[in-house]
A and B are shown apart, each in its own frame.
Chain A
Amino acid sequence: MSSTHNVEYQKKELPAKIRTIGLVLFIIGLIGVAASYLTDSSRSAFNNIIMLSFLTSVGLGSLFLVAVEYVAGAVWSTPFRRIPEFLSTILLVLPVVVVPLLFKLGDIFHWMHPEVVEADKILKGKAPYLNVEFFMVRVVLFILLWIVFYYFITRTSKKQDLTFDPSLTKKNIKLSAAFIPVFGITISFFAFDWLMSLEPHWFSTIFGVYYFSGSILAAFAAVTFVVVMLNENGYLVKGLTNDHYYSLGAFMFAFTNFWAYIAFSQFLLIWYANLPEETFWFLQRWEGNWIYYTIGLIFIRFAIPYFGLLSQPSKMDPKRLKIMSVWLLFAHWYDLYWLAMPNYSKDGILFSWIEIAFPVLSVGIVILLFVQLSKKNNLVAIGDPKLKRGIDFRL
């Protein structure tokens, strides 16, 4: 326990500027979103789904990173574990993000109309799963489960800041081990519900893994960006080295590849077998100007981050990491748009201020949450017994 005392950490308030930026983005975003709902509510609802799945990616993905650190006994990420813990607070916002969607469910999911289901043999067969009541149960249950795990895991971690009690680590390991299977199942069905069932005739067993791979990448990108920014300005514990940066960069690189692997596997199998009940989903994204969007996905989500993070020095370069992490977050939004939007707009890409308002609001929310949390809590888990080892981590 004595070793935790020779860690240099001085809690510093984040500058007020950040809060202002967050507030401005939040207000602009909120006005934009409200206006967009008044102008084109169906289109806004689709954008709202993208926002929901994006925030879930970052929030739930961050909680998963925290859980994996505990379970795997990793030390390199301990000095900045608070960052994913803070980011997972996004989960608390999800109920609010879901609410506007609940009023527009009929516009989004055409399996919600009984007369459509009645006329469609296949949708009729899916009715035991795809029906309004069960859907609502899942929405509520998933978010509730996530929030419960979020609450207990972060509470234990915060408590350790005061008590320095190593048995709390043990407790969190157990909680995390319970969370991981729950995470695996809920994130898959979340993806089926909100993204795959937008096209209720289409199905792909890998879809949950696809969303998972993108989510973890987004979470890593968000954590990397915040860690590099805070560390450069001295808000984190002293002694973080290139080796810590390298690990973050390597994980972003690895998950970029993993996403590409999953996405390519899904595409290749459907392209090769050429069954009409599967291929139409890709064909929708290959018609009109969607084709440019789809080809853009390969470059934006894979080629650019791949070559951007390929070399060893680039994984340690803070500037490169900041650029790539922001890029990857953008790419994740781009990917979610690719999953959701072609179901709404079969004619072509839609882009206007409506599509900007939602990401702006999301960023605003995350910044405000972060600033709020950093006021009350340490930015470093100073009570964690692994902290010293984490700082001393060398490749």
Chain B
Amino acid sequence: MVIDDSRAMRMILKRIVAKLNFEAIEAGDGQEALDLLATMTEVPELALIDWNMPNMNGLEFVTKVRAEPRLREMTLVMVTTESEQSQIVRALAAGAHEYVIKPFTEGAMIEKLALLGLVPTGANS
């Protein structure tokens, strides 16, 4: 799942995860993402989440997801401009598994996903 209020950023992320054989479902904010998840029978493996979004921000989304047993298996990666140490700590404490600071290069994103075991062996940027 790619959750960001910027369509441009969603496009960048979609392209990257497509290289890793992921099909991306898009949402423009945390609430939209939760609504979509409620309708899905198969929970996505991975969510790339922006922080600052209207309606429900990324931190709230992460908190809500981690509270729901059905969504336990989702790997949650923040992708955001929020780059203060304290913000990263907050996100990790709320249950995010990894954190990517914008701007990020494609190689960096793929490496972060590799850290989480989400890159099929042989895939290379």
To the question of whether A and B form a pair in one complex, the answer is no
Interface residues of B (CB under 8 A from A): none
Interface residues of A (CB under 8 A from B): none
